[in-house]
Amino acid sequence: MKKTVAILAALTVSFLAAAQTIPVNPKFGKVSDAEIDLTVYEPDTAAVAVMLYREYTMELIISNVTGDISKEITVHERIKVLKEEGKKFGDYSFLYVSDNRMKEAYSGIKVETYNRENGKVVRTVMSKKFDFDEVYAEDVRRRSFSAENVKVGSVIEVSYKFSSPRYFAIDDIDIQLSIPVNQTHIEVGHAEYFTINRTQRGSIPTTYQKKERMANLSGAVSYQVDTDVFDAVDVPALPNESHSYCPDQYRAAVSYDMSGLIIPGAVYESISMKWPDVDKAIKESDIFNVCKGRFRDAKELEAALAGVEGDEARIVAVRNYVVGKVKWDKESNLVPDEAREILRRGSGSDVDINALTASALNSVGYTAEPVMVRRRTSGMLIDYHISLRSFDTFILRVTAPDGQSWFLDAARDEGYLNVLNPLFLVEKARVIPFDGSGEWVDLRNLTRSRVSEIVTMRMEADGTLVGTAQIVAKDEDSYAVKSHYNDFDSEDAYLEDIESDENIQITEFDIQKDYGPSVEIKYSFERENEAGGLEYIRPVLSGFHSTSAFRKEERELPVDFPYPESLTYSFRLDIPDGYAVEELPERTVKNFPTIGGRIEFIAQQVGNTVSVVYRVNLDQMRVLPDHYADLRLFWETAV
């Protein structure tokens, strides 16, 4: 019976492979003329590239000599570049661990590019100068390499091997990619001693079969190796889209979760973790050591706090004291260095600064505890994938003696108490208290963000429009405004961007962006205009909503917004003598209940003044595809 099942499974796989759009020979280097001459992938004519073939094999290896366990992954990919944007798929980059306890490695890297030139097929083998292995951070290296001679029409073929002693950490295995996949073949093998749960995400049709073989341990013990085999053809792309923090989490994939290892008479290891196990691991790590450790400059800090009253002011003063000592190096990690080393360098990662700030706050009467965060760009935290690897970084929860608490990311100057990087505004972050078990907290609604803008304008005798603008952004909106300002190399460059966007010339400018929950911008401006005849005045200086967003009629991915939006824009125009109002914009008031949206646009004339009030509210941070049509209508109305 088993033989019959195996034969039927093999026949199914053969039939599936035959059904692919582009027949391929899966052997490395066996690239056909049809693959090289392909110009359009018919199932997806908009595709910038197509994965002609992808083979992913992973096996958990038990050494026959030492008994050590490792994870070995081999990847073979063949990619056809169809458009200029597809050339980026010839670039590869990986981070891996390299320390004395746990050395990972990439090896066997082969990269070849095939092009038709003057009627002949030219094969280009990647030279070593395009292969880099460099230090990325402490105990972390980066391996990157790029195919040579890549152009539109190229076929790129890549293979490599990755080995790691971290056999228990199994990443999701992709079936679906951002580009279409012509054919994919996946094999995952492990000894019968492992207790592993498998789940498959997405609705992509795949065939599955299970293979079995026998192996020996130290030449004495025989055991069975089980291998899961998945095949799929003509897998449609789920491309990256704007307003999506982590498209990967929605693509079809296979997930493995390991709960234990039992080798009879030799090894028993429970790998299954519960969140209290993660809490315990964090409490035993340098995260806790630095956060709870004695602050070395306690006397100097106390002097800096002299005369500062109120909990918020004192917490901010402590934060400012620490960042005055240690500058953020723009790196983001999970585990901080030792406090002595951080202070000696005078610079550090975001968690170095947060841990040192926690130590300082704890020394002056506050309780500052780490809050473990998984960034929105890493996907939603999944409860059943329990691991320290579920988190990317940490911030702080600071509690005053009276019990009031705030959340703080001390490293980023754009933030404040309860004003965080939008990537940290997640539904589930985990507070690790000094005493007791960890607890989940929701960071999405710490503040109510809002921005207001007031513009006044008048027309001079020569037709020139002269005006002023005042913008006040609070909470998360202040974070966004400060971040945008800091993206420019200079204030002049920032002003040039405003002038270009609003078609004005700025004559005076001032910005108040101190460390705090708000930012205020004021500027005076002029806009050239010819006097006489019919004048068209655009009441909204800048476009708050991009005209290029959400043009697609349908969307497969949810839409992510950084935070709920609340905008109030006020405009006043003084009408010059000799002019009369010919036409005002129509009053618009629309509600969009499925997405928590509302738009008001009201224009009116009182005497020689025209005023416009424009209000936009969007309460939801995520809009599902079922409500995408409502979002499009909301957006078009706003534009």
Residue entry with tokens 């359009």: 40
311-325 and 350-363 helices cross at what angle (nearest 10)? 130
Burial class (CB in 10 A: 0-12, 13-18, 19+), 45: exposed
- The CA distance from 406 to 540, in Å, is 37
Q: Which of 5-14, 209-218, 521-530 has the lowest mean pLDDT?
A: 5-14
Whether 527 contacts 503, CB under 8 Å: yes
Contact between 249 and 375 under an 8 Å Cβ cutoff? The reply is: no
Residue 178's nearest CA partner among 99, 236, 93, 104 is: 236
Give this prediction's pTM.
Answer: 0.84
pLDDT digits (tens, 9 = 90+) for 502-554: 889 999 999 999 999 999 999 999 988 766 678 888 888 888 888 889 999 99
Rounded Cα distance, 392 and 464, in Å: 53
What rounded mean pLDDT belongs to the chain?
Answer: 90
Cα 583 from Cα 195, distance rounded (Å): 74
First to last CA, the chain: 65
Write the CA distances from 196 to 69, 191, 193, 460, integer angstroms: 15, 10, 9, 76
d(CA 205, CA 212) in angstroms, rounded, equals 23
Give whole-number Cα distances, 43 to 70, 240, 337, 351, in Å: 40, 18, 51, 46
pLDDT tens profile 305-334: 999 999 999 999 999 999 999 999 998 888
- Nearest alpha-carbon partner for 599 in 554, 555, 565: 565
pLDDT of 37-78, one tens digit each? 999 999 999 999 999 999 999 999 888 777 788 999 999 999
Q: Is the pLDDT of residue 560 over 60?
A: yes
For residue 523, what are the CA distances in angstroms to 214, 511, 520?
Answer: 76, 9, 10
Residues 514, 519, 524, 527, Cα dihedral to 10°:
130
